[in-house]
């Protein structure tokens, strides 16, 4: 009796699983149909936007040509149409954030022509949130690593591991930021360039052989890394009172660049890494200093308005 009951239960379980399997097959079929439909809509929408942009450019040029001989009422109508035309790029930008687009040169070199466009705001927010968590986690690791190298241990092998970590970190940031830009994020161009330069600088430090000049620059460099990760990662979170610390970090970059240029003047300095690191720090200083001034000026102007 017990075996019959157990077998009957198994049959019922199998029937339930079979129904669920049929439902899965139907759902998967609908899913593939929707994917094909989405692909067709994406192609249609992208083509329509491209045509609209081209026609708007032609119309704008024609209106400018006609405006010279237009009457007063026509000039007002032309200005109104022109104002609406000028607002269209912002709308198209928001539309294209959800449409597949060709990857930039950097992403093509790294990922090929893989589509990196996320199709929903939730997915975009989740990716941006994961990007911020990645930066925070690596910042803590770099802080601990740089503190240990500066105060607790001193071996070239660990220095090389630290430089390799920085190269990987900044290269990963550039890839993630390129994906964010492809999905509509308005990341300032300098911050992306900053990470390219930082990756190059870390790579040069990785190849710098151990010697007198490396040891002279090692401790200032590690102290700079410790300061940078300790303060600059939180600078743009509304903490205006930390701006002096931010500018201090910028002038530290200037100091590092001048120190390295001074080392290049030594007659025994034959290492190309000294000059390359010096140039990298000067580029970082100029870019960061000018960008920070522009952001501060913009914030003050916004407050006045």
Q: What is the pLDDT of residue 233?
A: 57
Domain termination site, one of 96, 124, 155: 96
Q: Which residues contact 58 (CB under 8 A, 6 or more apart)?
A: none
What is the C-alpha separation between 257 and 285, in angstroms, rounded? 9
In a shared domain, residues 222 and 110: yes
Report the share of the chain in percent with pLDDT over 70.
Answer: 95
In a shared domain, residues 13 and 58: yes
pLDDT at residue 62 tops 70? yes
What is the C-alpha separation between 160 and 205, in angstroms, rounded? 8
In a shared domain, residues 280 and 244: yes
Instruction: Show the domain range for 256.
Output: 106-304
Q: How many CB atoms lie within 10 A of CB 190?
A: 16
In a shared domain, residues 190 and 78: no
What is the C-alpha separation between 78 and 94, in angstroms, rounded? 26
In a shared domain, residues 89 and 129: no
Residue 116: inside a domain, yes or no?
yes
Report the share of the chain in percent with pLDDT over 90.
Answer: 42
pLDDT at residue 198 tops 60? yes
Round the average pLDDT of the chain to a whole number and report it.
87
Average pLDDT for residues 51-62, to the nearest whole number?
Answer: 89
Q: What is the pLDDT of residue 2?
A: 47
Q: Give residue 288's Cα distance to chain centre.
A: 16
In a shared domain, residues 203 and 137: yes
In a shared domain, residues 253 and 218: yes
Residue 101: inside a domain, yes or no?
no
pLDDT at residue 5 tops 80? no
Residue 155: inside a domain, yes or no?
yes
pLDDT at residue 1 tops 90? no
- Reported as a pLDDT band with limits 50, 70 and 90, residue 241 is low
pLDDT at residue 236 tops 80? no
In a shared domain, residues 87 and 47: yes
Q: What is the pLDDT of residue 237?
A: 52
In a shared domain, residues 218 and 142: yes
Q: Look at the chain and report how many structural domains it folds into.
A: 2
- Reported as a pLDDT band with limits 50, 70 and 90, residue 108 is confident
Q: What is the pLDDT of residue 68?
A: 76
Q: Which residues contact 224 (CB under 8 A, 6 or more apart)?
A: 252, 253, 256
Average pLDDT for residues 242-265, to the nearest whole number?
Answer: 89
């Amino acid at each position: 009796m017990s075996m019959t009951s157990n077998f009957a239960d198994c049959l019922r379980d199998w029937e339930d699983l079979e129904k669920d399997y049929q439902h899965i097959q139907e759902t998967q079929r609908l899913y593939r149909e929707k994917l094909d439909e989405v692909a067709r809509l994406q192609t249609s929408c992208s083509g329509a936007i491209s045509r609209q942009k081209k026609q708007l450019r032609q119309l704008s040029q024609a209106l400018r040509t006609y405006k010279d001989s237009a009457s007063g009422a026509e000039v007002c109508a032309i200005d109104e149409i022109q104002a609406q035309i000028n607002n269209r790029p912002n709308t198209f930008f928001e539309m294209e954030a959800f449409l597949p687009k060709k990857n930039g040169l950097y992403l093509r070199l790294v990922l090929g022509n893989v589509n990196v466009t996320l199709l929903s705001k939730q997915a975009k927010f989740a990716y941006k949130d994961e990007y911020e968590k990645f930066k925070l986690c690596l910042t803590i690791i770099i802080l601990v690593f740089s503190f240990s190298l500066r105060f607790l241990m001193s071996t070239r092998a660990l220095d090389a591991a630290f430089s390799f970590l920085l190269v990987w970190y900044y290269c990963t940031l550039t890839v993630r930021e390129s994906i964010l830009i492809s999905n509509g994020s308005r990341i300032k161009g300098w911050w992306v360039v900053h990470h390219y330069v930082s990756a190059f600088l870390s790579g040069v430090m990785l190849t710098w052989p151990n010697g007198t000049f490396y040891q002279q620059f090692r401790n200032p460099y590690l102290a700079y890394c410790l300061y940078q990760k300790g303060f600059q990662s939180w600078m743009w979170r509304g903490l205006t009172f930390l701006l002096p610390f931010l500018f201090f970090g910028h002038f530290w970059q200037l100091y590092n660049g001048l120190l390295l240029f001074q080392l290049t003047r030594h007659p025994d300095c034959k290492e190309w890494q000294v000059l390359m690191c010096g140039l990298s720090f000067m580029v970082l200083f100029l870019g960061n200093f000018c960008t920070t001034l522009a952001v501060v000026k913009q914030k003050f102007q916004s407050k006045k308005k």
